[in-house]
Amino acid sequence: MNPDQIVFPWEDLTLYARWIANDSIATTYHWYENQYGEFVNSLMTTEVVSIGVLVTAKPNTQYLNDELYRIMDSHPDQVLSGTPAPDQPVTLHLYYERVTFNLTVEHGFNGETTVIPVKFGFRIYPFLPAVQREGYSFQGVQYSGTGSNWLNVQSRMTAYDLTIRMIWAPLWFKTTFVVNGGDAISPINEPYGSDYSLPVPTRFGHTFEGWYFDGALTIACPMTGTVSASDRTLFAKWMPVLVTVTFETNGSGAIEPIHVLFGSSYALPSPEKEGYLFGGWYRDSELTEKYIHTPEMSDLDLTLYSKWLNMAYMIHFDTMGGDYVQDLFQAPGTPIVLPVPERFGFDFIGWYDAMLTTPFTGTVMPEENLVLYAKWQPKS
């Protein structure tokens, strides 16, 4: 029988076509997460697959075996499987993310820590907690237990859990002193949290009562303590000392001492002694240094000595701008010699009354106290 000839059977027959599938290509792109959090296509694999047969992406075991990457649970562009059709090959996309490890950050005070999940290879600094420490400035981060092994802004997360600690340095704060009449004190700078001891200023005639935070001297500052986290200005408080003035009357009746606050006004007594004129108070028993009575007490404890003059009268000379002339004390009726004062740029004319109209022409001490005034004319 000719093989090309078909002999029909003697009964009905149904025939079925048999097809052999053509081959297709499945391409898988492997996207790898880099240290900046970006996904880059680092590998492309292909395989021959059958048309119409479901294809599942095959991971790259090199990424997975070292346990540093894992296939993402979801990614908007991830395609894990597909079925090829004629003239329609399959393209698959696998995304591998970096594995996360625990970064333990020791705050550096109060025993506080923060645990942060960080992917290996990512920069550490952006993950540091926003910790503030009063009175301190942040210096940086060290690997825990490594002494001075510092991290920098480029340091990256290890492929294992890591512990680091934050390092702090105390800030320095200035104390300025307003001495309110005392001897000047330079400002001092001290680190936060350190122990301080305030200086004790001095002021003549006064006792130091302490430092105050306010100019009104109402809020006291302790003399010792711990430096706080701010600059400050302190104000000195003073109490004037109580001055005792004792009097030696040299033959007159006793005079009780007086007590005067330093810097306050005061009055001195004027003793009397029969047959004598009081010649003033002196600082020394030899009566060589006359005590000048000032409006405010400017001495500390003081003993004054009285000077007595034989009964006499006094002529006081007001030089009207000329050089000082000593008062004249003499018994009445005794001859007197009037002094001739000097004044720069003027010629002395003579001694006059207060109106400078009547010259004094006497030659003996009058029987009264008298004040004479110098009269001048400019030099020609």
Say if residue 194 is in the same domain as residue 162: no
Q: How many domains does the chain have?
A: 5
Asked whether residue 17 is domain-assigned, the answer is no
Nearest to 262 by CA among 298, 210, 231: 298
Say if residue 115 is in the same domain as residue 130: yes
* Residue 19 main-chain phi, psi, to 5 deg: -120, 145
Domain around 298: 242-310
Asked whether residue 220 is domain-assigned, the answer is yes
Say if residue 300 is in the same domain as residue 341: no
Asked whether residue 13 is domain-assigned, the answer is no
Q: Rounded to an integer, what distance in angstroms lies between the CA atom of residue 140 and that of residue 137?
A: 9
Say if residue 29 is in the same domain as residue 92: yes
Say if residue 28 is in the same domain as residue 38: yes
In order of 193, 198, 209, 342, the CA distances from 221 in angstroms are: 16, 9, 11, 58
Asked whether residue 14 is domain-assigned, the answer is no
Residues 6+ apart with CB under 8 A from 295: 265
The tens place of each residue's pLDDT in the chain, 380 residues long, gives 454 555 556 777 777 776 655 789 999 999 999 999 999 998 999 999 999 999 999 998 887 877 899 999 899 999 999 999 988 999 999 999 999 999 999 999 999 999 999 999 999 999 999 999 999 999 999 998 766 689 999 999 999 999 999 999 999 999 999 999 999 999 999 999 999 999 999 999 999 999 999 999 999 999 999 999 999 999 999 999 999 999 999 988 899 999 999 999 999 999 988 778 788 899 999 999 999 888 899 999 899 999 987 777 889 999 999 999 999 988 777 899 999 999 999 999 999 999 999 999 999 988 788 999 999 999 98
Asked whether residue 228 is domain-assigned, the answer is yes
Asked whether residue 190 is domain-assigned, the answer is yes
Structure tokens at 318: 């007001």
Say if residue 187 is in the same domain as residue 161: no
Say if residue 106 is in the same domain as residue 90: no
Q: Rounded to an integer, what distance in angstroms lies between the CA atom of residue 91 and that of residue 148?
A: 52
Say if residue 195 is in the same domain as residue 254: no
Q: Rounded to an integer, what distance in angstroms lies between the CA atom of residue 353 and that of residue 74?
A: 119
121, 145, 170: which is the final residue of a domain? Answer: 170
170, 194, 225: which is the final residue of a domain? Answer: 170
Say if residue 158 is in the same domain as residue 180: no
Asked whether residue 2 is domain-assigned, the answer is no
Return the CATH number at 177.
Answer: 2.60.40.4270
Q: Rounded to an integer, what distance in angstroms lies between the CA atom of residue 73 and that of residue 29?
A: 16
98, 127, 145: which is the final residue of a domain? Answer: 98
Q: Rounded to an integer, what distance in angstroms lies between the CA atom of residue 105 and that of residue 161?
A: 11
Max Cα separation, the chain? 195
Per the CB < 8 A criterion, the answer to whether 349 and 375 are in contact is yes
Asked whether residue 5 is domain-assigned, the answer is no
Q: Rounded to an integer, what distance in angstroms lies between the CA atom of residue 247 and that of residue 254?
A: 8
pLDDT, one tens digit per residue, over 340-366 is 999 999 999 999 999 999 999 999 988
Q: How many residues does the chain have?
A: 380
